[in-house]
Each structure stands twice: as structure tokens, then as C-alpha cells.
Structure 1
Amino acid sequence: MDEPPPLRRNTAFQLLWIGSATSDFGTQLTRLAMPLLVLAVTGSPLWAGLIAGARSAATVLAQMPAGVWVDRWDRRRTLVGGQLVQAGVAALLAALVVAGQTLMWTFLVLAVVDGVCTAFIGPARSIAIRGVVPAEQLPTAFAQEEARTHAAWLAGPPTGGLLYGLGQAVPFVVDAVTLLVSAVCTTVARVPRRPGPVPPPAGEPAAGEPVPGDAMPGDAVPGDAVPGDAVPGTPSMGRELREAFRWFWRQPGLRDSSGTVMMLNLLGGATILPLIVLIGERGGDSVVTGAVLAASGIGGLAGALLSGRTGALLPPGKLLLAVVGIFGGAVVLETLPFGRWWPMLPFVCISLATPALNVVMNAVVTRLVPEEMLGRMEAVLTVVGRAMAPLGPILGGFLAATLGGAGALLCIGGALLLTAAGAATSRSLRTFTGERAEAVRPHQRF
């Protein structure tokens, strides 16, 4: 069999990557601009947290139906449509700011619409990558995706701070333009509308093929439709989601990993607003704040480049425990009274640790999950992992308003360290390796 061409010559993937990198850059512009705008209008960290929480909640609540529909729909149209709607949201937000109509309820509504679009774009993009990249090149592709994300984190916040200084609406205008560019790249890339099957390793059944003695997705179980039932065509959404949840529940290592990630997303999401408040308390302006937040991109790029070596040091379960512990310790260190620039250094440490985990877990999920269930499992793992994420910005805003930036970060860092200690008591998490055999017999994102 001929070797596939190098990933750098895979035009469809590279166009998809360029479009995603462009839109991620725009998203990171508004990551800083939105809380700065809300703080300028209301003076309340809690309001900023409520708006960020509303967007996250919309993404989580829409994730389940989105996962089912992405498995059924044309993935290319789903990606392009979601990006165009998000571009419209950003443009409308910029127009409201220019017109002086900075009403919080309009910000909440637009945040919800943007979050729903994200619920569809995420799984559609992940599956599109599998559709254009050979199976043996997926780890390299995911590493490039991770580098893209952190490059956006590096360039986006400081650029967003500079653009915000030029005008409150400017970052949102640029965000709209980047989303339009991403939609064009997705269209030109002509990613498969539905991906083709990926051959299983030698000696293993194809995705969806029954294994003697095992209950696999699609098998008849009590309460499900069986042959002879009057259920023509596509199964119901409820049945498809039940299949996905049953498969997930039979994976102890993946299940416990997702529970730990749920706490990591809650507490990690709570850190940004207190950090912004802390920098402001120490005399930093929007440019300083953007530069400090860009530290996550600096560490993330380095971490993505080293993700192959770092991910090989520990199996996925132990790697997750290490990342949560490092995250907690770094958040505590951010509170040391060394000036407005000091939090940049611990922030770099946080972002150095996470790329390897993201790459490893993406590869694990791609390897374990049957092809016909990818969209649904992307939804299940996202919903489980992010079930409490909408509360993160609200928690961070409340703690910052009550305790100030440093006090809030101390509380959050301590909670992360306790999470790492509690998760370490799970044997299935400590021994989780993500090998395919674990998912087949017995059934066992991050």
C-alpha cells in the first residue's frame, strides 16, 4: 500500500487548519474585549461572569442534539453555516457598541446564539479532520490543531487589548472578518460531507461490527426498537444518545477522566476574571492585561511542540492528574505580590502542561470511539466534561467581587489542588491507558 502524502501536502486539512486558526484568533480578541467592555459599562465582575457563563451554558445544553445532528447532517454545510451565524453575531455586537446600545440583555442573547453555534462547529470540525486525514497521521494533525489554538491565545489577547484601546467596537469587527475568512476556507477545502470508514487495526472488528459476547452500539436492549418495530429509517435521537451514553458508561477510565475534567473546566474557567481584576488592582491597563493573558499562548505553543514527548512520559490518566496539580499550584503562585506582570510566569506554566493532555486525549477518543458514533460521543464527552463549566465565570466573578483578585485566585487554586488529590484515589483513572482493548472487553475527553 502506498504511503499517504505528508500532512503538509494535505491541502484540505491545511485549508481547514488555516480557517480555524483565523477564527480562533478572532475569538481570542473578544476573549479579553468582552469582559473589559462589560466592566467598563457596569463596573461589575459578576455581570462579566454571567455573560461568559450564558455562552458556555448554551454550548453545553446544545451539545447533545448537536452531536446527533452532526452525525446526520452535511458536515461542510454545518461548519460554514455556524461560522456565518457567528460572524453575524460579532458584527451585530459591534454595531450595538457603536450605537451606544450596550444593554446587558442584548449581550446575553448574542452570547447564547454564539454558544449554540459553537456546539455544532466543534464536533463537525473534529469529524471533518478525521475525514481528510489518514488514521496514522491523526496524532500529528491533532498536535497541529493544538499549536493553532495556543498561537491564537498568544496573539489574540494582546491584539485585542490594543484594538480595544482604539475603540470598543473594533475587536468585534475584526472577529466578524476572521469568521468570514474561516467560512471561505472551509468551503474551498471541500471536506467530505460525511467521512469514510477508517480501517481497524489487524485482527480487530470494524467500527460498528458486533463482537461475540459484547453488547455493542446498535445491539437491541430492553426499551430500544428491535427489528420488526415500526421504526423506518433513522433511529430516534433518544435511542442514539442512549447508545452513546451506554458505551461511555462502560469505560471506567474514560468516565473518571471526564469527571476530573469537569472540575478542571469549572475551576479553570473561574480563573480568568479574577486574574483580570488582579492585574487591574495592581495598576495594569488593557494592554498589560492582554500581554499577561498572552502568556497562555507562549506556554501553549511550546507545550504543543513538545506534546509528543511529554505525552509519552505518562499514560493518559496519570498525565491528567499531573496537569490538574500543576494548574492548581500555578494559580496559587499568581497571587504572589510581585507586581502586575508577575502572573505571566505562572500562566506560562499552566499552558505548558495542558497541550500534551489535549493531544493525548483527542487521539485516545479517536482510537476508541466507533466511526458511526463520533459526533454523539464528541457531544457526550463535551457535555460531561463541561457540565459545570458555565458556572466557572460566574464563580470567578462572584469571588473577585467578594474577595478581590488575589483572594479569589487563592480559593480557586486550593480547590484545584484538592481536586487532584481526590482524583488520585481513583484506581481506574490512575491505570487508564486509553488502549483500544480497554474499550472492547470489558467496556469501559476529556
Structure 2
Amino acid sequence: MSLLRNRRFQALWIGGAISQLGTDMTRIAMPMLVLALTGSPGLAGVVAGAKAAAMVVAQLPAGVWVDRWDRRRTLLGAQAVQVLAAAVLAGAVLAGQAQVWVLVALAAVDGVCVAFTGPALDTAIRGVVPPEQMRAAYAQEESRRHAAALAGPPVGGFLYGLGQAVPFLADAVSYLLALVATVFARVPRRPAGEARPVRTGMRGEVGQAVGWLWRRRGLREVCLIAMMLNLLGGAFVIPLVVLVGERGGDALDTGAVFAAMGAGGLAGALLSGWLGRLLPPGRLAIAFTTVFGGAIMAMALPFGPWWPMVPLLVFSLTTPTFNVVVSAVISRLVPDDMLGRAGAVLTLASRGLTPLAPVLGGSLAAAFGGAWALAVIGALMLVVAGVAAASQDVRSFTDEPDEVAA
């Protein structure tokens, strides 16, 4: 059976695509709302950082509990809470009660839910997709992320222009539709043949996953690179919003600029199979970090509000290849009974600094303006690329399963 005929996976994929569209709509609408309410890029960063911080804090216990609990009910429960939180947010905006502390609290709730839905969805995909189709499934997953990134920002900007609450109401509907799709996908409670993990306590179960990652030479270093990519890649969002505004752009212009990420990413997802064969994972990480850093610096060039679309398009062409290759390596290496915990540890290792990203970006934009903030962030990313290129473990890292440290 081809992947396209796998109705359970396609139902999960459609639900994820709808939910991702809602997330990308509010990704652009939320900073615009906070800026409209407070005029502070720093506070916009605090609100975005609250979601990331909550996700990071909840990540490890969520991974352990996903391995312990009924995975279908865990995924459905987390999605139901996301529906409720998004609806409350839309209601607060409509009622004129969208104070910063309310936005922070609801963002934190959503972040905790993401900590559960991430590993639960990963295990669901493993449960409905055969091993020989796993790389194709990750490529399709990557394509829906970038398709949503293409449509989400301009749609979010358009809906925000209709009313400040409209994009958040649409986000609540997207979460509801994702929940319905999960029901139709008949997600397995756990993959066939998988034994329940022997419980050794939260600390012991997390320690097993940490030890597993530490023994994978090259993979642990790539996770550190990903940590810096997520920090600096998340930091450029608010400075870019500020930059477009400084150059005379409105909400629709901002959404259109960010849509370039989706356009490039969607094209990159189609090319990921070919591009992924050009370099081994370690060298691919070095090349991607270099392109990313150079593109962020290029956004600061004084060519008008629409210019950042060009460097956004360039680096987003390479993003899917990096994500698909790393996901396939992890899928090949992680034992079935450690999916939740290992996924949580890997996510924490790669996203541990993510809560600081919007705060860093907002603070730099408030202090120096959008263009200089982007220049600084891009330069820091090029430094990361240089450090990665100097590491023998990174340069020699492949997808072979025996890459284990002594």
C-alpha cells in the first residue's frame, strides 16, 4: 500500500496541516496584537517566550507520560485543551480583556499542550506508517509545515485586518478540526508489538533516554547546533516584523514577507529527497547553518519592506532537507519503547534555549531597531557555523546506527 492510500496517516496529516495553519496565522497575529496593545517589542517577545518556556519545562515529564499512558487519549486530550485555550483567547480579545498577563497565561497553556502533542503525534506516525515509508512520511509532514507557513502569515494578517480577535477564533476552529481528524485516524494506543516500559521512576526513565543520546557521537553535537538554530532562528521573527513596519509596511505586507518562508519551504520539501543525498547529516548541518546565518544578515540590507522575502526564500529552501534527514536518522535509531522519552530529550536538547528566542529578538529590536537586530543575529549564527565546521564529530556524523561514543 502506498503512503497516499494510508488513510490513517493521511487523516493525521490533514489534521496537522489545518492545526499548523492556525498556528502560523497566530504566529504573525500575536506580535501585532501585543504591539497594538502595548507598543513594546519586548513584551511581544515575552508573550511568545512564555509558550516556548512552558513547552520546554513540560517536555521531559510529557515524554515519560506519553510512554506510560494511552497515547490516543493523551493526544486527544491535549488537542481538546488547545481548542479551549484558543477559544478563551479569542473571547478575551473580543471582550477587551486581552491584558498581557492573560496572553502569557494562555500561551503557556498552549506550550504545555505542545509538549504532549509532539511526542504523541510522533508515536502515532510510527504506529500507522510502515518503516519503509517513514522517510516519505516525514517529507510529507515537512511539506505541510511549509504549506501552512506559506498560507498562514498572509491569511493571519488579512484576518487581523478584519478584527483583532478573528485570527484567534480561526485558530480555535483549526484545533477542533485537528481533533476530529485524530479521531478518524484511529491512532493506536501504542505501536503493535511494543511493550510498556518498565517503570523506574521519572528520574530513572529520563536518565535512560539521556544516556542513550549521550552515547550517540555526532547526534549529540547536531542537537547542540539545532539548539542554537532554534534560538537564533526564533529570535529574528520580531525584528523582522519591526523592520517591515519601520520601512512602511502594514499587516498584509508583513504576512506576505513571512509567506516567503512557506513558499521556499514547500519547494524545499519537494527537493528534500534529492538534496538529502548530497551531503551526510553532519556536513548538511554545517551548510544549513551557514546559509541561514548569511540570509538573516542579508535581510538587514536597505532595499525596502519587501526585500526580506528574497533571503527568506533562499534559506527556507534548505530547511526541509535538514529537518527530514535528522528526523529520519532519529526514527532509525530510537527504540520503540523509548519513543516518548527520547523524543522529549531530543526536543529539549535542541530547543532548550527557545524560550529566550523571542525575548532576545524583541530586546535587540527595541534597543537597536529591526535592521541592526537582524545583522547581529545573523552574525551570531555564522559563528555557530564556524564552530560546527571545526568539530570532527560533526563533520564525520552519518546516519549509521553504530555511531556510539565509547
TM-score calculated relative to the size of structure 2: 0.98
Contact 1:197 1:371 in 2 (8 A): no
Structure 2 residue 14 is the aligned partner of structure 1 residue 22: no
**1:12-411 to 2 correspondence within 5 Å?**
12-197=8-193, 234-411=199-376
Contact 2:199 2:205 in 1 (8 A): no
* Offset of residue 425 of structure 1: 1.1
* Offset of residue 242 of structure 1: 0.7
Name the SS for the 1:252 alignment partner.
coil
* Offset of residue 443 of structure 1: 4.4
The residue type equivalent to 1:258 in the other structure is C
* Offset of residue 234 of structure 1: 2.7
Q: CA RMSD in A?
A: 1.3
Rounded Cα–Cα distance in structure 2 between residues aligned with 1:245 and 1:443: 13
Rounded Cα–Cα distance in structure 1 between residues aligned with 2:31 and 2:283: 35
Rounded Cα–Cα distance in structure 2 between residues aligned with 1:342 and 1:297: 16
Provide, for residues 42-65 of structure 1, a one-character-per-residue CA deviation record: whole Å limited to 9, x for no partner: 000000000111110100110000
Name the SS for the 1:90 alignment partner.
helix
Name the SS for the 2:300 alignment partner.
coil
Provide, for residues 175-200 of structure 1, a one-character-per-residue CA deviation record: whole Å limited to 9, x for no partner: 000100000010111011101248xx
What is aligned with 2:391? 426
Provide, for residues 83-131 of structure 1, a one-character-per-residue CA deviation record: whole Å limited to 9, x for no partner: 1111111110111111111211111111110000000000100110010
Name the SS for the 1:54 alignment partner.
helix
The residue type equivalent to 1:386 in the other structure is R
Greater alpha carbon shift after TM alignment, 297-306 vs 68-77:
68-77
The alignment of Structure 1 onto Structure 2 pairs a total of residues equal to: 406
Structure with a larger share of its residues in helix: 2
Rounded Cα–Cα distance in structure 2 between residues aligned with 1:259 and 1:179: 31
Provide, for residues 13-71 of structure 1, a one-character-per-residue CA deviation record: whole Å limited to 9, x for no partner: 00010000010001111001100000000000000000111110100110000000001
What is aligned with 1:227? none
Name the SS for the 2:301 alignment partner.
coil
Contact 1:49 1:397 in 2 (8 A): yes
Q: Relative to structure 1, is the Cα distance of residues 350 and 197 closer, same or farther in structure 2, using a 3 angstrom cutoff?
A: farther
Contact 2:227 2:349 in 1 (8 A): yes
Contact 1:247 1:443 in 2 (8 A): no
Indicate the percent of aligned positions where both proteins have the same amino acid.
Answer: 59
Rounded Cα–Cα distance in structure 2 between residues aligned with 1:90 and 1:157: 17
Rounded Cα–Cα distance in structure 1 between residues aligned with 2:181 and 2:405: 39
Rounded Cα–Cα distance in structure 2 between residues aligned with 1:6 and 1:434: 25
Rounded Cα–Cα distance in structure 1 between residues aligned with 2:24 and 2:61: 26
The residue type equivalent to 2:62 in the other structure is A
Select the structure of larger CA radius of gyration.
1
What is aligned with 1:201? none
* Offset of residue 173 of structure 1: 0.5
Can you give the 5+ residue segments of structure 1 that lack an aligned partner in the other structure?
199-206, 209-217, 219-232
The residue type equivalent to 1:43 in the other structure is G
Contact 1:64 1:380 in 2 (8 A): yes
TM-score calculated relative to the size of structure 1: 0.89
Rounded Cα–Cα distance in structure 1 between residues aligned with 2:270 and 2:160: 31
